[in-house]
Amino acid sequence: MKARIAIFLVLGVAVILLPLIAPPVMNNMILRVGSLVMLAISWNLAANAGLISLGHSAFWGLGSYAALLVANKLGWPFFASLIPAMIVGAISAAAIAVITGRLKGIFFAISMLALSECLRVIAVMTPGFTGGGAGVFIDQALRPSTQTVAMVTAFCAVACGFIAYWISLTPFHYACRAMRNNESAAEMLGINPLRFRIAVLSLSGAMASLAGGVNIWYSGFLDPMIGFDLHVTILAQIAPILGGIHTLAGPIIGAFATIGLSEATRILLGEQGVSLLVYGLILVFSILYMPKGIVGTWNTWVQYRSRGAASAKVGTTKAAPL
């Protein structure tokens, strides 16, 4: 166990320091993968508790706007601005957890979809506050170097990974699994579903908002279409599904795979619509033929192989008396 943690730590530090040695063009890639890792872990956390979000762009957008607004209106610098971003994400997630109450599955999914659209309309309609549909630039004087943003993204992604890992070691993890499978049974075990829902979603919301908050410092420009882009929602769910839902490594592997696929289609086919089409097809394909994702399929395969070997052994011992 300790050795494992040590390996994770070393890997984590290496990832965080990567922007220092990688060529500057890599910063963009680190940023995209890092953000998606955060989003995917965040989405997977909620999904672990049986909450399927079809509106993660809501948290992303809230985080982006929170960071941008405290920078532009209050002059907060990069690092400080990430704190309100997380807080806004956590609070709004807690609110949606309370609002959706006992509604699971479909209703939660639709509520999230609606929330994200609702926030987009609000952002468009309050130009005095958010810059409205025309969008707004973040204060250029406050912007850190791209390298710094990339490093922070890497750090945050690693931190999210650690949090997810830590949760997987606590009873919290089992409570989530119980809730996902059967909420009333979980309740009988003494789990308070609402409290857990609030806790899980706040954490999930904070992570997604943090990703949004970091990203605004990289892109420098925000409008409601970028902030509450459906694209973010789609990426947030595709990465864990492709990698392996309800697993620890799944969202991370999925994030790399998704960005890889998106780059490959961009280079090979060029058009933007094509990559979205590919995302759609990945979703359909994964759900139908690989519902456990890359990680789950790999595990099954390994198990199958070891079991195949084991049963072969049993076969020989059985055959011996004959």
Partner 1 sequence: MSLFWQCLVDSLLLGGLYSLMSIGLSLGFGVTRIINFAHGEMIMFGAYGAYFGSVLLGVDPLLSLPLVAILVAVTAAVVFKALIEKVLDAPHINQILLLFGISLALQNVAAILWTGDARSVSTPYSLTAFEFETLLVPHGRVIAFATAVVLIVALFCWLRFSELGRATRAVAENGQAATLMGINVSRMYMLSFGINAALGAATGAISAFLLTITPFMGFHMLIKAFAIVVLGGLGSVTGTILGAFALAFAETWVSYYVPEGNGWAEGVAFVVLLCVLIIRPKGILGQAVAVH
Angle of helix 56-74 versus helix 105-125 axis, rounded to 10: 30
Instruction: Work out the angle between the directed axes of helices 146-169 and 171-181 (0-180°, nearest 10).
Output: 80
SS3 for 169-189, per residue?
HCHHHHHHHHHHHCHHHHHHC
Minimum separation from the CB atom of position 19 to partner 1 (A): 32
Classify 200 as helix, strand or coil: helix
**DSSP H helical ranges for 75-170:** 78-100, 105-125, 127-130, 146-169
Distances from the Cα of 306 to the Cα of 292, 301, 316, 317, angstroms: 19, 9, 15, 17
Task: Please answer whether residues 66 and 208 qualify as being in contact, where contact means their C-beta atoms are separated by less than 8 angstroms.
Answer: no
Give the Å distances, CA to CA, from 7 to 11, 21, 39, 118: 6, 20, 23, 43
Stretch binding partner 1 (CB under 8 A), from 59-67, 74-82, 113-121, 162-170: 113-121
Which of residues 95 and 159 has its CB atom nearest to partner 1 in the complex? 95
Region of 4-12, 69-77, 164-172, 279-287 interacting with partner 1 (CB under 8 A): 279-287
Q: Which listed range, 5-13, 37-45, 119-127, 314-322, lies at the site for partner 1 (CB under 8 A)? A: 119-127
Site string for partner 1, 40-69 (x = CB under 8 A): -------x----x-x---------------
* Shortest spacing between CB 226 and partner 1, in angstroms: 16
Among 15, 115, 154, 157, binds partner 1 (CB under 8 A): 115
- Is residue 109 close enough to count as binding partner 1 by CB under 8 A? yes
Interface with partner 1 includes 287 (CB under 8 A)?
Answer: yes
Residues that bind partner 1 (CB under 8 A): 47, 52, 54, 99-107, 109-111, 113-115, 117-118, 121-122, 124-125, 230, 234, 237, 241, 245, 271, 273-274, 276-277, 279-284, 287-288, 291
